[in-house]
Each structure stands twice: as C-alpha cells, then as structure tokens.
C-alpha cells in the first residue's frame, strides 16, 4: 500500500502572515510610534468640573510642560529629552507633543487647576451655568 502525501497548494499570492514574517517585529516599532503621541482622556466629574488627563511620563512638569487656555481651547504642550551614557556609549532621545481640546460651554477660564502625579497630567476646569446669549432681533421691513 502506498501512503498518501498531502501537498500544499501554492497560490499566486502568499499568505499575509508569511509576507510580514520577513519584516522586523512591529512590537519593536511601538516606541517609535508612541514617542510622538500624547494620550488624552476627558470627562465631566460628579462635582461639576471638566477634567482632562494626559499621559506624559518621564517629564519634569515645572519646566517641560506648558498648559494654556485661549478662546475656549485648552492646549497642552510637553517636551521630553533623555540622555544616557555607559561604557563610552551615549544615547539620547527627544520629542515634543501638542494636543488641544475645545472646552465645554460654560467653562470658567479663570478656574483651571493642573496637577502632575506619576506620569499623569490632570487639568481640571470649573464649569458654570452657561449664560443665555439669546437676543431677539427686530426685523425691519422696507416702507
């Protein structure tokens, strides 16, 4: 009796996984991608404040982080630089990040607090009742 041998069919297009197998691992590229990103989360808290949290590990908040507000937009800027030296070899990395968010209606630009703890920047903005800005306009007709 002869044994059957299973043959693999070769197609014109290789499997996608086989195609990417020849490239370096994409997991190794993650630091290159993440180095330019600043992840933000925002929410309304129970005490009526708007909070924005930004992940910015490895920065000195006193000199590397700049938080500004202008015309209803909150802008967070951060700059990171690292340098390491060992056994006659030195490496450095750097990058800057900028993210802006539009503040919700009723945001009090005079009531903003920012704190930095364990790599997380938290910006808290007081929210007041929005002022009603509806104004009735009289329609004039030609005479």
Place of tokens 């930004």: 54
Closest alpha carbon to 109 in 123, 121, 96, 120: 123
Residues 92-115, mean pLDDT to the nearest whole number: 89
Residue 92 has pLDDT above 50, yes or no: yes
What is the bridge-based pairing of β-strands 49-55 and 120-127? antiparallel
pTM of the predicted model as reported, rounded to 2 decimal places: 0.61
**CATH label, 36-127, candidates 2.60.40.790, 3.40.50.720, 1.10.15.40, 3.30.70.20:** 2.60.40.790
Whole-number average pLDDT of the chain: 78
Q: Which pLDDT does position 81 carry in this prediction?
A: 79
Query: Over the stretch 18-68, which tens digit does the pLDDT of each residue have?
Result: 555 555 554 444 444 444 467 889 899 889 899 999 998 888 899 999 999
Whether 128 shows a pLDDT value over 60: the answer reads: yes
Sketch the domain layout of the chain as residue ranges. Answer: 36-127
Q: What is the largest CA-CA distance in the chain?
A: 110
């Amino acid at each position: 009796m002869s044994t059957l041998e299973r043959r693999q069919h070769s197609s014109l297009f290789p499997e996608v996984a086989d195609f990417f197998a020849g490239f370096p691992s994409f997991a190794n590229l993650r630091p290159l991608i993440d180095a330019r990103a600043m992840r933000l989360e925002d929410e309304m808290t129970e005490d009526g404040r708007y909070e924005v949290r930004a992940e910015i590990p490895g920065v000195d908040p006193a000199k590397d982080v700049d938080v500004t507000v202008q015309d209803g937009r909150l802008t967070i800027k951060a700059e990171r630089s690292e340098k390491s030296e060992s056994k006659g070899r030195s490496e450095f990395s750097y990058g800057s990040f900028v993210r802006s968010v539009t503040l919700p209606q009723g945001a009090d630009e005079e009531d903003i607090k920012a704190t930095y703890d364990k790599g997380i920047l938290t910006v808290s903005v007081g929210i007041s009742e929005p002022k009603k800005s509806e104004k009735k306009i009289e329609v004039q007709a030609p005479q």
